[in-house]
Amino acid sequence: MGRFYITTPIYYVNDVPHIGHAYTTAAADVAARYHRQLADDVFFLTGTDEHGTKVEQAAAARGLGPKAHVDEVVGKFKEVAAKVGASNDFFIRTTDPEHEKFVQDFVQRCYDAGDIYKSSYSGLYCPACEAYYTDENLMDGLCPDHGTVPVHMEEENYFFRLSAFQDRLAGHYRSHPQFVRPRHRYNEALSFIEQGLDDISISRATLKWGIGVPWDENQVIYVWVDALINYLSALHYAPGENLVARFWPASYHLMAQDILKFHGIIWPALLMSARFELPEHLFIHGYLKLGGEKMSKTRGNVMDPFPLIEQYGADPFRFYCLREVSFGQDGVVSEESFKARYNTELANELGNLLSRSVSMIGKYRGGMVPGTGGREPAESPLAREAETKVQAARDQLDEMDLSGALESIWVLVRRLNRYVEEQAPWKLAKEAEAGGPEGQTAKAALDATLWDLAEGLRLLSVLLHPFVPGTARVMRERLGLAAAPAASEGTGTGTGGPSWEDARWGLLPPGLSVVAGPPLFPRIED
């Protein structure tokens, strides 16, 4: 049994959530559920980033104080987590008093280590990024991410000696070639470090909405420093025993490329300064793009996940995002492609496979899963391929190749559909009726085929559990297998779902009573 601590970014509450946030949270949930299936000790954290200029401005624009604003908007982010079916163990808010206290202690450690000094800053600043820019970093004088004109800022700030960590950071990257994944993101971060690092301002004098610098009441801590520390602060006060000892360092911080520099450079340097271990991996997935452009709240071209989830459920949404976009690459999403994939893959391929199989077991065997027709389970023509795909999915899940794993699983779904056509159980049933030795052979072949289909579906319910947990549960119910423990579905640290031990061909006991039911995925008609 291992341990697995996975985090999503904590999302800004300056506006409402969109499909990009739902995507990261759903992906993290897939990994968390998979590791619970392995019986790992799992902690899954998500939450909200509630301080800083952007939030202060968003609140002011609504005529609200920042706290009233964040208290309201946080509900929408909690709702996203719940709606995508996230089994997060804790939801951190950076306005939690325990977090605020921990951040102050953390920054004090860096100060005491001599890594923080006071200096004045004068230069360009993008409030949307909450970051300073030099002329070279801008594109035609505009923020490269937001396309907005940066503002001139002049302040006395506290600075963190990031430059002093350059060699140690580069050394860490070299000795941990898997620190940032996928590889091209590792290269990007390392080359940024090698270009030379400047010290960074880590406090603000003009902003009020933030955590106070412990040794200077006139300054607040830079929102990014406050935010990054959440991954460690949460373990100090989330419910649960010895969380720090059990879960730090984090196994994976999951995010898109927009915040790689903060996580790949500033965060490890802060941890080195405060003398904490570094996270094991950062995994950088790509952007979901709408009409070819990155969605962003600041740009206003966002796709709202709620209507899709409300209409079709969390599972189709999770499935779509992880299937449509190769995990680690950018990809285009749209409602049309959602519907197309839903109809072809979920309704036709998976949904039909289940309903056909259950109905044939009903029709030909009175609703009871037959034996294997006198054949060893391992002799099934499906056995080898099933085992190969299980192993492939496992390897891919271990590498965080979530869409690759889903593809391996889907090869099996398609193989089972072909098997139905190849075996033509309706013909076997007719031949069996004829009686005699040939009838006996057909009867045994029909038993074997129906058992194979039920076994294939059982196996799929184990493999699909992390991706589409509700669907996997219904599949198991229809197959007459006991429902998965409730702990797997809700928030909490239950071992959850069918164990990965069950992902082996040949375990299905004969004699289960299958249960017919409505289509898993009713087709979407335009």
Smallest separation (angstroms) from ligand ME8 to the CB of 317: 14
Instruction: Please enumerate in sequence order all residues whose Cβ is within 8 A of that of 295, keeping only pairs 6 or more positions apart, or say none.
Output: 18, 19, 20, 287, 288, 289, 301, 302, 303
Q: Which of residues 436-475 bind ligand ME8 (CB under 6 A)?
A: none
With CB under 6 A as the contact rule, the residue among 193, 228, 442, 479 that binds ligand ME8 is: 228
C-alpha R_g of the chain: 26
Q: Which of residues 236-255 bind ligand ME8 (CB under 6 A)?
A: 255
- Total residues interacting with ligand ME8, rule: CB under 6 A: 20
- Name the burial class of residue 300, with classes exposed (0-12), middle (13-18) and buried (19+) by CB atoms within 10 angstroms of its CB: exposed
Quick one: 227 or 508, whose CB is closer to ligand ME8? 227
CB count, 10 Å around CB of 522?
13
Quick one: 95 or 380, whose CB is closer to ligand ME8? 95
User: How far is the C-alpha of 164 from the C-alpha of 327, rounded, in Å?
Assistant: 34
Q: Which of residues 291-310 bind ligand ME8 (CB under 6 A)?
A: 294-295
Smallest separation (angstroms) from ligand ME8 to the CB of 329: 11
Token pair for 228: 């990054």
Strand boundaries in 319-417, DSSP class E: 331-332
From 21, 54, 99, 339, the catalytic residue? 21
Q: Is 263 a catalytic residue?
A: no
- Our finding on whether 9 is near ligand ME8 (CB under 6 A) is yes
Q: Is 21 a catalytic residue?
A: yes
With CB under 6 A as the contact rule, the residue among 4, 5, 6, 11 that binds ligand ME8 is: 11
Residue type at position 200: I
3-state class (DSSP) for residue 214: coil
- Our finding on whether 225 is near ligand ME8 (CB under 6 A) is no
Query: Which residues does residue 132 pair with via DSSP β-bridges, in sequence order?
Result: 125
Alpha-carbon separation of residue 21 from 18, 26, 288, 305, 487 (angstroms):
6, 9, 10, 9, 24
Of 286, 259, 265, nearest in space to 401 by CA: 286
Quick one: 13 or 382, whose CB is closer to ligand ME8? 13
User: How far is the C-alpha of 475 from the C-alpha of 515, rounded, in Å?
Assistant: 10
Smallest separation (angstroms) from ligand ME8 to the CB of 136: 23
- Part of the chain binding ligand ME8 (CB under 6 A), chosen from 6-14, 110-118, 362-370, 495-503: 6-14
Alpha-carbon separation of residue 179 from 40, 252, 326, 482 (angstroms):
21, 9, 20, 40
Smallest separation (angstroms) from ligand ME8 to the CB of 265: 13
With CB under 6 A as the contact rule, the residue among 142, 164, 170, 256 that binds ligand ME8 is: 256
- Part of the chain binding ligand ME8 (CB under 6 A), chosen from 4-12, 233-241, 313-321, 382-390: 4-12
- Our finding on whether 402 is near ligand ME8 (CB under 6 A) is no
Tell me the residue number closest to ligand ME8, measured at CB. Answer: 20
Per DSSP, 391 falls in state: H
With CB under 6 A as the contact rule, the residue among 59, 227, 361, 468 that binds ligand ME8 is: 227
From 35, 69, 110, 126, the catalytic residue? 126
- Part of the chain binding ligand ME8 (CB under 6 A), chosen from 3-11, 105-113, 401-409, 437-445: 3-11
From 101, 146, 172, 236, the catalytic residue? 146
With CB under 6 A as the contact rule, the residue among 81, 232, 288, 428 that binds ligand ME8 is: 288
3-state class (DSSP) for residue 44: strand
Smallest separation (angstroms) from ligand ME8 to the CB of 433: 56
Quick one: 148 or 344, whose CB is closer to ligand ME8? 148
**In three state form, how does the secondary structure of 457-473 look?**
HHHHHHHHCCCCHHHHH
Instruction: Please enumerate in sequence order all residues whose Cβ is within 8 A of that of 478, keeping only pairs 6 or more positions apart, or say none.
Output: 354, 358, 514, 515, 516, 517
Quick one: 14 or 157, whose CB is closer to ligand ME8? 14
Q: How many residues does the chain have?
A: 526
Q: Is 18 a catalytic residue?
A: yes
User: How far is the C-alpha of 461 from the C-alpha of 470, rounded, in Å?
Assistant: 10
| Residues carrying an active site annotation | 18, 21, 126, 129, 143, 146, 294, 297
Q: Could you list the residues that contact ligand ME8 (CB under 6 A)?
A: 9-12, 20-21, 23-24, 49, 227-228, 230, 255-256, 258-259, 287-288, 294-295
